[in-house]
Amino acid sequence: MQQLLNGIFIGSIYALFAIGFTLVFGILDRLNLAHPAVFAASAFVGIELVERGGLSLWAALPIVFVFGAVLGLLIERLAFRPLKGRADAHFAGLISSIALAGMVIALLQWRYGPDTRRFPAGSFPDTRYEVAGAQVTLVQVVILGVSLALMVGLTYMVTRSRLGRGMRAVAENPTAARVLGVNVDRITAVTFAISSALGAVAGVLFAINVNTAQLGMGSAIELKGLAVIIVGGMGSLPGALIGGLVLGLAEVFAVQYIGSSWRDVIAFGLLFVILLLRPQGLLGARKVREV
Amino acid sequence: MLLEYATPLTFIALGAIFAYSFYAVLIAGQLSLGQAGFASVAAFSAAALAPSGNDVGEVPALLIAVAIGMTLGALAAVVLGLPTMHLRGVFLAIATLGFAEAVRVVLLNSEWTGGAQGLAVPRILTVGMAWIALAVVAYWFWRMGRSRYGRALEAIREDELAARSMGIDVGRHRLAAFVTAGAVAGLYGVLFAYYVRLIAPGDFDFAAAVEGLVTAVVGGSTMFLGPLLGSGFQTMIPELQRAVGVEAGWIRPFLASLLLLVVILFLPGGLASLLPRRTRLPAASGDGNGAGDGNRPSHLAARRHPAAGETVVTLVGLGKEYGGVHAVRDVDLEVRSGEVVGLIGPNGAGKTTLVNMISGLVPPSSGRATVLGVPVGRTPVHKVAAAGVSRTFQHSKLFNRLSALENVLVGAHLVSRPTFLRRLLWLPSARRDEQAALEQAARCLHRVGLADAAGTRASALSYGDQRRLEIARALASEPSLLILDEPAAGMNHVEASTLSALIRSLAADGLTILFIEHNVGMVLETCTRVVVLNFGEVIASGTPQDIASDPAVIEAYLGTEDDEPVTGSVAEGTLADPTGGSAEVMAADSVANVRPGAADTLEPPDTTPRNAS
């Protein structure tokens, strides 16, 4: 039971991170490899807000959300918009976002140094609950709650709001959307902002969960995020949620029954099997080849 | 002097070799990140299996290790390549990345690799050896560039479906590219191991794979010098920063990333795009660009064509259904060699679906079709093309980043001979074969009136020129059956009548032609026979004169006075139509006012055996 809950908590963070990833991919057909850098940067910024700013954890979260959104706008403007209309935009977007990620990480090193950082002692409330014989901390409940609330909010926005309709129109056919008066550039920028804001919150929650932030934390979760969006189905928001939870649970149980050193083989074995059997992912729609 | 720079120079060579393993698949449009896995399999196996330098001498020991590493790298690529061949783009990248990570974790947990501590390997590699190895790899890709094989890979990168229709076996070519990548990555792994003295699984992680990909793309993934330039760039930037006294810490990675961003944003073709690229033009040889036919170069592979009057296409009860919507139903049709058959009908009548079935792109859901002796539907597209079917597409599917001439050269894939291995050895016969293919391509370009545009990128041509280039490309394979899907779309009267003259002259050469066209006047003046489709069924077939006066046809196009046909269409925009043709199909019940029996003007099926001439 304890393991199940732990798997759900870590899985919800994976899901939140992966949803940001898959949002950009699903709508703009681009893989933004600067997303993990946002994840790491927001963890450091979150710690600084609590440590120096003296804010409580809960006040820091919305600020980090905004910080992530701003980073997302920068990523779109610097790494993706200049590539518009290029034949090799797909490869070039990967590389330019990797380059931007490198710059972000270098700046983090400049401001925070290469060492691991933690939240100051006493930032977490000690409240604990007992659920069916398992220990659950208030922090974990909040992680789950924030993740679920953001995911539900995002899904509602994409399916119901005018902005979400614009996003889906751009995903379907950018040219047609532009002709029909959708401001494609604005939709693109907003998509990046939302995606990065979610990645930023995921970063802080992750840092809270393990109480550390490291420069390399983004690359560690990057692979998992990729696995999650494949398992769930590229571009599928509920798919990313389920994929994240599946991965979180698989990892926790792999550590318990097989050994921690084999944990990542489980994740990638799962990924591989899904790709071979169901390349569109668990919930992804098979995209008709557009030729 | 040189010794002082031995370390960076060796790393430039190693980085370039690794980047070539990415280049090997990028050139075919595949994005793979599995190379780090291939390299680590090769490095650890070779280090464990190869004899020690003390027993056999250092250089032989290294050579044996290289042989082991390249073989295992290639084998690993086959093992990974076969199940992932159907994946494309990012999916392939992530699957191969998953493989590399799995390899890393397995090696990390194995006894024989020393786990996280790693494996000690003697240093044998010198800077000279590294550059010799690099030279061999670069030579390989240089000679590949202008061979038939290299062109086929580029064609696959630009448009896979069009490449298939040109007779290129895409699966085999992609696998070959993948295996090359595996062997080169294996070479890198072994050389790296024999230089750094201690290898750990962590040396071949995700970051290493990304580094290799970045190097290849920054250098330029469409030109063989690209990986070398990229590696020089990536290796020298930290060195230069150190030389000019930039402090270590955050500034160095920041500047390196910034430069990377600048290069990728402002040099679309990578660093290699700074180098001038020679465009290949056909040599103005002997034939004086005359009428073009008759003097076929003797170095082209021979093709057999059916004799005039023989059956080329036989369709029996052919149908295609998309989720309950009949795009084509119960079509019987026979086309004989030398005929020019026009296929007309209103939008959504099923014309494109029908020719897609004939050219093997779409499998029929009922009935059977035999084209040039091949049962289509069960035959891969490239085999249908090899039987002598060549086609153009409703929406041009050119190889956009290749020149017009190169597009047509790819079209000549089936009639030219493989030249890559002979080019590696500089055999004069390879040169002659390439020359013959060039002449063939130049002749086809000339025939459609595009001789002057040979060096122009396909994407830079005007719309009408692109349509004509597609015809030239289709002609280059010397097909027996040429299928044109709306060749005159977007052309004005003058251009359309030139096209009509071209089609008739091709027919005069003995080519069988099936073409879809909305310009009914052009169809009537060009064809020997016209077939009219409506709602997926043949409603009339006969000479142009018969068709022009057939009441069923007039009704289908104009409607009758007392019974307006329903024009609403079932909105089935999601139909899988690989050519992007209009897939909407008229509502099945509105077909009531059309006589399907009009198809009885067809000749009875020909049962005489088809003997190759």
Q: Answer yes or no: do B213 and A275 touch at CB < 8 A.
A: no
pLDDT at A285: 59
At a CB cut-off of 8 Å and minimum separation 6, what does B234 contact?
Answer: B15, B211, B214, B215, B218, B256
pLDDT at B316: 92
Per-residue DSSP letter, B34: T
Tens of pLDDT along A4-14?
888 888 899 99
At a CB cut-off of 8 Å and minimum separation 6, what does A107 contact?
Answer: B250, B254
Q: How confident is the model at residue A101 (pLDDT cuts 50, 70, 90)?
A: very high
Strand partners, B315: B333, B369
Question: φ and ψ at B567, to 5 degrees?
Answer: -100, -5
Q: How confident is the model at residue A121 (pLDDT cuts 50, 70, 90)?
A: confident
Q: Is the pLDDT of residue B124 over 60?
A: yes
Instruction: Report B:62-121 residues touching A (Cβ under 8 A).
Output: 83-84, 86-87, 89-91, 94-95, 97-99, 101-102, 105-106, 108-109
CA A107 – CA A102 distance, rounded (Å): 9
| Distance set, CA B140 to CA A142, A286, B184, B226 (Å) | 58, 38, 11, 14
pLDDT at B283: 55
At a CB cut-off of 8 Å and minimum separation 6, what does B259 contact?
Answer: B233, B237
Number of residues in chain A = 291
Interface test with A, best of B27, B80, B91, B105 (most A CBs within 10 A): B105
pLDDT at B115: 79
pLDDT at B529: 92
What does the H/E/C string look like for B332-378?
EEEEECCCEEEEECCCCCCHHHHHHHHCCCCCCCEEEEEECCEECCC
Q: Is the pLDDT of residue B587 over 80?
A: no
Greatest Cα pair distance in chain A: 59
Lowest mean pLDDT among A150-159, B49-58, B604-613: B604-613
Beta strands per DSSP E along chain A? 128-131, 134-137
How is residue B512 written in tokens? Answer: 């069988």
Question: Where among B460, B478, B496 does a domain terminate?
Answer: B478
- Give the nearest chain A residue to B398 (CA atoms): A291
Tens of pLDDT along A30-66?
889 999 999 999 999 999 998 888 888 888 899 999 9
The interaxial angle of helices B35-49 and B6-26, nearest 10 deg, is 120
Nearest Cα of chain A lies from the Cα of B214 at a distance, in angstroms, of 6
pLDDT at B91: 80
Is residue B472 located within the same domain as residue B495? no
Chain B residue numbers with beta carbons less than 8 Å from the beta carbon of A36 are none
Q: Is A97 exposed, middle or buried (0-12, 13-18, 19+ CB in 10 A)?
A: buried
Which candidate from A88, A95, A219 shows the least CB-CB separation from B218?
A95
Nearest Cα of chain A lies from the Cα of B28 at a distance, in angstroms, of 13
Is residue B266 a part of any domain in this protein? no
CA B71 – CA B42 distance, rounded (Å): 8
Q: Taking a C-beta distance cutoff of 8 angstroms, is the pair B8, B236 a contact?
A: yes
Q: How confident is the model at residue B488 (pLDDT cuts 50, 70, 90)?
A: confident
Q: Which residue in the block uniquely carries the two structure tokens 């719309």?
A: B463
Cβ-based neighbour number of residue B255 at 10 Å:
18
Nearest Cα of chain A lies from the Cα of B102 at a distance, in angstroms, of 5
Chain A residue numbers with beta carbons less than 8 Å from the beta carbon of B98 are 227, 268, 271-272, 275
Is residue B449 located within the same domain as residue B418? yes
Instruction: Report B:170-209 residues touching A (Cβ under 8 A).
Output: 206-207
**Per-residue exposure over B160-189, b if at least 16 CB sit within 10 Å of its own CB, e if not:** bbbbbbbbbbbeebbbbbbbbbbbbbbbbb
Is residue B82 located within the same domain as residue B12? yes
Strand partners, B515: B342, B484
Is residue B396 a part of any domain in this protein? no
Which candidate from B89, B264, B578 shows the least CB-CB separation from A92?
B264
CB-based contact, A129 to chain B, within 8 Å: no
pLDDT at B611: 43
Instruction: Report A:85-124 residues touching B (Cβ under 8 A).
Output: 86-88, 90-92, 94-96, 98-103, 105-107, 109-110
CA B315 – CA B299 distance, rounded (Å): 35
CA B171 – CA B161 distance, rounded (Å): 12
CA B569 – CA B566 distance, rounded (Å): 8
- Give the nearest chain B residue to A230 (CA atoms): B91
Q: Taking a C-beta distance cutoff of 8 angstroms, is the pair B73, B41 a contact?
A: yes
Is residue B460 located within the same domain as residue B376? no
Question: Where among B478, B512, B540 does a domain terminate?
Answer: B478
Is residue B75 located within the same domain as residue B186? yes
- Amino acid, single-letter form, for residue B575: L
Strands B198-199 and B340-344: unpaired
Is residue B424 located within the same domain as residue B558? no
Nearest Cα of chain B lies from the Cα of A252 at a distance, in angstroms, of 17
C-alpha closest to that of A14 among A261, A242, A253, A270: A242
Q: How confident is the model at residue B441 (pLDDT cuts 50, 70, 90)?
A: very high
Which candidate from B31, B98, B401 shows the least CB-CB separation from A268?
B98
Is residue B192 located within the same domain as residue B83? yes
Average pLDDT value for chain B: 83
Is residue B457 located within the same domain as residue B596? no
Is residue B454 located within the same domain as residue B538? no
pLDDT at B277: 67
How is residue B319 written in tokens? Answer: 């149908």
Which candidate from B94, B261, B574 shows the least CB-CB separation from A100?
B261
Q: If DSSP codes are grouped into helix, strand and coil, which group holds residue B131?
A: helix
Chain B residue numbers with beta carbons less than 8 Å from the beta carbon of A25 are 90
Is residue B298 a part of any domain in this protein? no
3-state helix, strand, coil in chain B (%, to 5): 55, 10, 35
- Give the nearest chain A residue to B576 (CA atoms): A288
Q: Taking a C-beta distance cutoff of 8 angstroms, is the pair A34, A96 a contact?
A: no
pLDDT at B583: 39
- Give the nearest chain B residue to A233 (CA atoms): B91
Residue B557's H or E segment, with its range, is: helix B551-558
Is residue B471 located within the same domain as residue B492? no
pTM for this model (two decimals): 0.84
C-alpha closest to that of B200 among B12, B46, B40, B17: B40
Q: Taking a C-beta distance cutoff of 8 angstroms, is the pair B326, B585 a contact?
A: yes
Q: Is the pLDDT of residue B392 over 90?
A: yes
The CATH code of the domain that includes B499 is 3.40.50.300
Is residue B347 a part of any domain in this protein? yes
CB-based contact, A171 to chain B, within 8 Å: no
Q: Which residue in the block uniquely carries the two structure tokens 């690799």?
A: B113
Query: B419 is in which domain, residue-wise?
Result: 401-478
How many domains, chain B? Answer: 3
- Tally C-beta pairs within 8 A across A and B: 134
pLDDT at B2: 60
Is residue B229 a part of any domain in this protein? no
Tens of pLDDT along A140-169?
888 888 888 988 899 888 888 888 888 888
Domains and CATH numbers, chain A: 2-116+129-277 (1.10.3470)
Q: Taking a C-beta distance cutoff of 8 angstroms, is the pair B530, B542 a contact?
A: yes
The alpha carbon of residue B176 and the mean position of all alpha carbons in its chain are separated, in whole angstroms, by: 13
CA B352 – CA B356 distance, rounded (Å): 6
CA B465 – CA B471 distance, rounded (Å): 10
How is residue B1 written in tokens? Answer: 């002097």
Which candidate from A106, A109, A227 shows the least CB-CB separation from B98?
A227
Average pLDDT over residues B585-599: 39
Q: How confident is the model at residue B556 (pLDDT cuts 50, 70, 90)?
A: confident
Lowest mean pLDDT among A212-216, A220-224, B601-605: B601-605
Is residue B74 located within the same domain as residue B126? yes
Tens of pLDDT along B414-433?
988 888 999 999 999 898 89
pLDDT at B560: 58
Q: How confident is the model at residue A250 (pLDDT cuts 50, 70, 90)?
A: confident
Per-residue DSSP letter, B268: T
Sign of CA dihedral B326, B332, B336, B341: negative
CB-based contact, A34 to chain B, within 8 Å: no
Q: Is the pLDDT of residue B180 over 90?
A: yes
Q: Answer yes or no: do B102 and A83 touch at CB < 8 A.
A: no
pLDDT at B289: 42
Q: Is the pLDDT of residue A290 over 60?
A: no
Tens of pLDDT along B181-200?
999 999 999 999 999 989 99
Is residue B301 a part of any domain in this protein? no
Is residue B441 located within the same domain as residue B562? no
Question: Where among B152, B177, B206 does a domain terminate?
Answer: B206
CA B475 – CA B408 distance, rounded (Å): 8
pLDDT at A122: 75
Q: Taking a C-beta distance cutoff of 8 angstroms, is the pair B409, B151 a contact?
A: yes
CB-based contact, B238 to chain A, within 8 Å: no
Q: How confident is the model at residue A211 (pLDDT cuts 50, 70, 90)?
A: confident
Average pLDDT value for chain A: 85
Is residue B257 a part of any domain in this protein? no
Q: Taking a C-beta distance cutoff of 8 angstroms, is the pair B610, B306 a contact?
A: yes
Instruction: Report A:195-224 residues touching B (Cβ under 8 A).
Output: 219, 222-223
How is residue B142 written in tokens? Answer: 């240089």
Chain A residue numbers with beta carbons less than 8 Å from the beta carbon of B261 are 78-79, 96, 99-100, 103
Is residue B158 a part of any domain in this protein? yes
Q: Is B66 exposed, middle or buried (0-12, 13-18, 19+ CB in 10 A)?
A: buried
CA atoms within 13 A on the CB side of B556: 29
Q: Answer yes or no: do B221 and A272 touch at CB < 8 A.
A: no
